[in-house]
Structure 1
Amino acid sequence: MEIKGDIHLLKYLKVPAALLSWDGGILDSNFLFSEMSEIFISPHAEKIKLASRSTQEYFLNILEKNRDAIPTSATSICYSAQDRHFVLHLVPFSMLARGVGTEATMLLFVIEIKKMSLSITQDIIKSVFSLTSSEAKLASCLMRFLSLRKASEFMGIKHSTARAYMIQVFRKTDTQNQLELYSLLSKISYMDRQSDN
């Protein structure tokens, strides 16, 4: 099993990727990863440093949780910078893979989410999930990858009110974050377009 060599296969798929140690140290990366300055402060550094402090703390917390435990699932982190939207995927290596010629504990790869024209309206969101008008409007803002703060400004409401709406939107749609909500609403939008044809 040649883990270190696999990272360079990802460049052919146009996926920025890096092998990480448990503390966020960069053990190896492909050339696409080094071009991710929108997300990382100096992608050429020895350790991962995200441009957002809160995202950096969350990221380090994930690494720490996977330090000693046998990780069982991947983790995805949504990240927006300069009107571009990304998902950082952290995929843990099994304990078996950790012992095979590498100190890597995680594979990090980055996917940019291209804005899609979603034809789903607030009325459809509202009726499908029994949301209030305000909750549907917030869901629509979140679908466009606005931050909660920007969505609250757009809607002319307090940040705390937007947070309360967001909690209800996630509960009623059975999603846990903006990426899951986007994925769900994208599927509904696709089904809606198919039914029109």
Structure 2
Amino acid sequence: MQSSKLSQLIGELYRHAHQADGWMAFFAMLETEIPSRSTTLMFEDIQTHDTDIVLSRHLNNDELQVYGEHYIHTDLWAGAMADLPLFQFHSSEVVLDRQLLSSEFYADYTKPLDIRYACGAYIENPKIGQAFRVTIQRGHQHNPFSREELQTLNLFVPHLQNALAIYKRNIALESLQRGFDSISNIIDSAAYLLRPDMSIVSQNALAEELLQQDIACIAAGKLSFRSHKLRNTIAQLMNSLQEFTHNRATSCRNYARMEQYQISIEPHLLPSLVPGAQELGALLQIKNSDTNVNIDLAGLEILYGLTNTEAGVTRLLCKGLVVKEISEAMGVKESTIRSHLKAVYAKLDVCSQPELLSKIMASLARTQADVV
């Protein structure tokens, strides 16, 4: 490749490194100089074999998904490349041709896609457990990648590393902005994005109003509340949220109702500028209890096998009434209400009012989401 063309390609890579379209344009230009069928930029977790196809030319989403779900486990070419020197391009010829042609990977995946030869480079270190890999594929009508072509591609490796750092930082910035937007877009309740120690990462306009009204406060850099009852309720919810672990796939929301507020708290990944290093925090939402809670009696009866009376007691409890108020509203003794609640606890497999409220509110949230 002429030095002028090489400089042009490197310039194109840096010019648009922060955009996916820029990488695609660079790959398109590269493929005219080093003929190929497709180019893929892939993130890999070496230990779990989880993949994230960041960019790809010519392979559609279904083809990439099939690879990530199954064929990465049979990709003997990628497995062999992981043991070769890093930060330089290697040809798929490192795998014996007869071994490739007799493999499930070739017969069921690459052959139907007209992928016969490949070359690739790890541009981040797979030995630390995670890596980015650039792979360039050729079809059956092509020849294997030559030594000269690999040497030319190796000239791009340091620039690919630099451009990838730019691209990843831009992705992180976009993720950071989405994290803040997810809080600011909540308009029906005061919302705080918190670290596990209650320090504030972000908050929306209604949350700022609680601070201005001196309902909420910041003490030693951490969110707190003037009301002893509100402060203790939120602390209990925070302590009971067992998802402050590395099990980020788990989804859980805890609820509580007070005389004035409806409170919910759930795990939430905190925005980060470091991809793959996000901290697990919590999203706290505080809504005025004046908001009507639409809990259907028949729905409670069907969903949990409650009697009509048990459903009525449960509904009033969810509206913020205490046992005494429920007994007055229903015209029965407090002991009768407690007996109904004991039956409700047994049917919902809970042991306390907070657990009961959390289960009912979570079901209500799921039902409303399904309707939407």
Same-fold status (TM-score > 0.5): yes
Q: Map 1:87-166 onto structure 2 (within 5 A).
A: 87-93=263-269, 100=275, 104-110=279-285, 112=287, 114-116=291-293, 120=297, 125=301, 129=305, 131=307, 133=309, 135-148=310-323, 150-152=325-327, 154-155=329-330, 157-158=333-334, 162-166=337-341
* Residue 70 (str. 1) matches residue 243 (str. 2): no
* One of 61, 64, 70 as aligned partner of 2:239: 61
Question: Structure 1 residues 28, 75: closer, same or farther in 2, change over 3 A?
Answer: same
| Contact 2:194/2:200 (<8 A) preserved | yes
**In 2, Cα distance between the equivalents of 1:74 and 1:22?**
15
* Residue 35 (str. 1) matches residue 214 (str. 2): no
* One of 15, 19, 24 as aligned partner of 2:193: 19
> How much has 1:76 moved relative to structure 2?
2.2
Q: Which has the higher contact order (CA 8 A, sep 6+)?
A: 1
**In 2, Cα distance between the equivalents of 1:31 and 1:186?**
23
**In 2, Cα distance between the equivalents of 1:11 and 1:187?**
22
* One of 322, 333, 342 as aligned partner of 1:167: 342
5+ residue gaps, structure 2: 1-171, 368-372
Corresponding residue of 1:48? 223
5+ residue gaps, structure 1: 189-197
Larger Rg: 2
**In 2, Cα distance between the equivalents of 1:86 and 1:162?**
22
**Secondary structure of the equivalent of 2:205?**
coil
Let me know the Cα RMSD of the aligned residues. 4.4
**Secondary structure of the equivalent of 1:178?**
helix
**In 1, Cα distance between the equivalents of 2:239 and 2:362?**
25
> How much has 1:164 moved relative to structure 2?
4.2
**Secondary structure of the equivalent of 2:258?**
strand
| Contact 2:194/2:283 (<8 A) preserved | yes
> How much has 1:115 moved relative to structure 2?
0.7
> How much has 1:11 moved relative to structure 2?
1.9
> How much has 1:34 moved relative to structure 2?
1.7
Amino acid aligned to 2:197: D
| Contact 1:73/1:92 (<8 A) preserved | no
**Secondary structure of the equivalent of 2:264?**
strand
Equivalent pairs counted in the alignment come to 177
Question: Structure 1 residues 35, 150: closer, same or farther in 2, change over 3 A?
Answer: farther
